Structure 1
Amino acid sequence: MSATIEAREVFAVIPPGIQGYLKQVVSGGKDVDWMPFEIKREYTNAFIIKDGKILLGYKKRGFGVGMYNGFGGKVEPGESSLQGALRELKEEAGITAPLEHAGTLLFLSEGVDHAFNIEIYRADAYSGVVTESV
């Protein structure tokens, strides 16, 4: 069974800037067939959550350019997703953090020849000074 839940049903207060964009889709996976894909590329995304706030970076290039997101990118050959997340966090924000796995996103995007497999990480603390990447 698949259901779309409106944002107001998920959050007591909807964060500013996402009104109208947020939807949560819940599916047991049995009533909808998976779309076929041949290529799956590995990515990471890390979120630092401290004092009820989420540290985000502004995307200057690549997928999601012009938007705010966690820190992440492609997992390099020979790297685990955690190693990739730690590397990307250091490269993009200049910080290190005790990342913990929080979930996985697997999706297709129209016009792209591969599926995106994104391993999501989170931490409640970080070390270093947040700096803008070049």
Structure 2
Amino acid sequence: MNSTGKESRHVSIYIDRSVDDVYAYASDPVNLPSWAHGLGKSIERREDHWVAESSPMGRVVIAFAPHNKLGVLDHEVTLPSGVTVYNPVRVIASDAGSEVIFTLRRRPEMSDADYERDAGMVAADLSRLKELLESA
């Protein structure tokens, strides 16, 4: 088990769509259930935050970075335990398309298996996002 909590991994994917297209779709919380299964299969707005009831982690509260022109998709996920996890995510131009980069931070309590499982879930979510956007 890593007890420092200072390890990060960048999980990324190239999407053959413009930065504007990728950002517009990925930044809309209503679209999350279609591609970000790690956050849940449904999401609902409640005041200034969003709630995913059917997340693999249980009920989570999600707060998103304000809409911006820099491709920042950062969000904080408050777990059922009350712990809040900050997730840096960017959409950047890459040739004629875009690259989505998710920085996965290892929390101090995570085992190697937990960290690898989370990395796999993020990669699967990004693959679904690619598939949805490239087939549209």
> So what's the TM-score if we normalise by structure 1?
0.27
Find the structure with the greater CA-based Rg.
Answer: 1
- Higher helix share goes to which structure? 2
